[in-house]
Amino acid sequence: MSLWSLLSSQVWSPGFVLLILVFLLRLNVRLRYRCQLWDLQHCPTDLTGKTAVVTGANSGIGKVVSQELARRGARVILACRSHERGQRALDEIQAASRDACLLLGEVDLSSMASVRNFARWLLQECPEIHLLVNNAAVCGIPKTLSSEGLEFTFATNYVGPFLLTNLLRGALQRAGSARVINLSSSWHIHGYFDEEHLTGAGRPLTFNQNYYCSKLLLTSITGEFARRLQGTGVTVNSVDPGVVYTGIIKEFSWFYRVTFWLWSFFIRDPTEGANPVLYLSLEKEVDGISGKYFSNSCVITPPAKAAQDPYVAQSLWNATIKLTNLDLMD
């Protein structure tokens, strides 16, 4: 077919032109992300002999992170709430890299009893932990109280990881130098402080604000934890993976899910979303840096004002210690 007949043929319907436009736009977005992303391929870090724990490892960002850590020789504990979904992810990662050393752990981060059981088991299996990725989270769930009297979203996204990190503190310190990474979100700037939210009380929250607020608390407490761990060799930082097309929207109505799907052409895929998390897990230049918030292009960025106030963070720390009965432990 000559060029002329191709140009004058029927294929140039508006639909076809639109399709090409979408394709070009997507290509542009992909190329732009490629420039923003950290160069994972050229990072030489080897994790042989190291132990890493990733929560919510069965899907999305957590699965990509677990796979990369395992590929680099780490023993990776996939901490999942569903045995079945966890096992499926484990089999998949194992199939991709046959030497991967993986262990499945069961934990429901919304239940403090479950977090304690998991920590007990984990400390028996792994006396030293070099990397903890607090990745699991939920989004889009209306206010719900757990049987332990905690609000479900806050319990999963904030109180559970708080308790887990504290219970694993000894194992992290024993590792000599360890990193804790909290998955935040740039949306935390839409949250505000109210400790009473943790127990389902406090000022009413609008649509999805429980998610934003829980991420704000997480970002704030990261600073406080870092202050408390100064000099122990353990660093804690939080990071925004960017807007990523994953299962995070599974609890939303079909309308939001379809919108997100349409949007998925222009946002990050899980591999791109995992990139800043892997940067914090692997990159040598992050050694010793603690208490910071990293943007999705791996740059230290000031978090929301509310998350920078050490007094607020200390008060939040005190409240959460009490809520999790950690004050009765030692």
Ligand X SMILES: *[C@@H]1O[C@H](CO)[C@@H](O)[C@H](O)[C@H]1NC(C)=O
Ligand Y SMILES: NC(=O)c1ccc[n+]([C@@H]2O[C@H](COP(=O)([O-])OP(=O)(O)OC[C@H]3O[C@@H](n4cnc5c(N)ncnc54)[C@H](OP(=O)(O)O)[C@@H]3O)[C@@H](O)[C@H]2O)c1
CA distances for 45 relative to 58, 107, 197, 280, angstroms: 24, 29, 40, 12
Q: Is 191 a binder of ligand Y (CB under 6 A)?
A: no
Q: Which of residues 274-313 bind ligand X (CB under 6 A)?
A: 311
Q: Which long-range contacts (CB under 8 A, 24 or more apart) does 254-257 make?
A: 256/140
Specify whether the CB–CB gap between 196 and 202 falls below 8 A.
yes
Question: Cα 205 vs. chain centroid, distance in angstroms?
Answer: 23
Residue 76 forms beta bridges with which residues?
52, 102
> Which residue of 243, 280, 307, 316 would you call a contact of ligand Y, by CB under 6 A?
243
Q: Is 211 a catalytic residue?
A: yes
Q: Is 191 a binder of ligand X (CB under 6 A)?
A: no
Instruction: Kindly state the tokens that stand for 13.
Output: 């319907």
Pick the closer one to ligand X by CB: 112 or 218: 218
Q: Which of residues 41-60 bind ligand Y (CB under 6 A)?
A: 55-56, 58-60
CA-based nearest residue to 225, from 280, 163, 277 = 163
Q: Is 281 a binder of ligand Y (CB under 6 A)?
A: no
> Which residue of 122, 138, 171, 312 would you call a contact of ligand Y, by CB under 6 A?
138
Specify whether the CB–CB gap between 240 and 185 falls below 8 A.
yes
Which among ligand Y, ligand X, none contacts residue 100 (Cβ within 5 to 8 A by kind)?
none
Q: Which of residues 141-170 bind ligand Y (CB under 6 A)?
A: 156
State the catalytic residue, choosing from 33, 211, 245, 293: 211
Which among ligand Y, ligand X, none contacts residue 314 (Cβ within 5 to 8 A by kind)?
ligand X
Q: How many CB atoms lie within 10 A of CB 140?
A: 17
Count of residues of this chain found to bind ligand Y when the rule CB under 6 A is applied: 28
Provide the annotated active-site residues.
Answer: 211
Binding site for ligand X (CB under 6 A): 134, 158, 161-162, 165-166, 180, 182, 218, 221-222, 225, 236, 311, 314-315, 318
